[in-house]
Amino acid sequence: MKVKSRHHLRNDEIQAVKESVQSLLGVDIDGDAFEAVEFADADYEVVLVDGEPAVMYVDDEPFLTVKGANQFPPTRNVVTVDAGAVSFVSSGADVMRPGITEADESIQSGDLVAIAEETHGKILAIGRALEDGADLVGDSGKVVESIHHVGDDLFDFSV
């Protein structure tokens, strides 16, 4: 991933990112340095928190990256998958309803979600819910579209 531009965020920009992530995920992001990174070869922007890619913008909406969600574990908008789904989700596959063991009831269709594995609670991917939270657990169908996952270019990005 080729960096097009990189700059420190102003205090009001930092506050806006923190408030948005807090309202979506119930997480307080704590860090000393916040930098925006724009890529020449990707259609999203990333916010580095103390040098780590912790926040990404998806359709102009700030949301934690996989690394960010593991550093600042979310309490809302989390979908938990069973052990059988881990290898698929970690490879970037969309999440199917039978693999989900638990989903936050407050999730609305179209919301960004963090996808965690049930054994250790580690975040494997970030996706977009295709159904409401109450309808994510069940027998069949694709219910979360994968956006970013362990091992993709953004996960491997370092400054």
CATH number of the domain encompassing residue 15: 3.10.450.120
Could you say which of 25, 44, 69 is where a domain stops?
Answer: 69
pLDDT, one tens digit per residue, over 106-126 is: 999 999 999 999 999 999 999
Identify whether 89 is part of a domain.
yes
pLDDT at 11: 96
Tell me which residue has tokens 């069949």: 140
Helices and strands, counts by H and E, the chain: 4, 11
Q: What is the pLDDT of residue 42?
A: 81
Pairing mode of beta strands 112-117, 78-81: parallel
Q: Are residues 6 and 65 in the same domain?
A: yes
Q: Which residues contact 11 (CB under 8 A, 6 or more apart)?
A: none
User: Are 61 and 21 contained in the same domain?
Assistant: yes
Over residues 17-54, the pLDDT tens digits come to: 999 999 999 999 999 999 999 988 887 899 999 999 99
Asked, for residue 159, whether it belongs to a domain, the answer is no
Domain total in the chain = 2
**Boundaries of domain holding 107:** 76-147
Judgement on whether residues 2 and 62 belong to the same structural domain of the protein: yes
What is d(CA 76, CA 16) in angstroms, rounded to the nearest whole number? Answer: 18
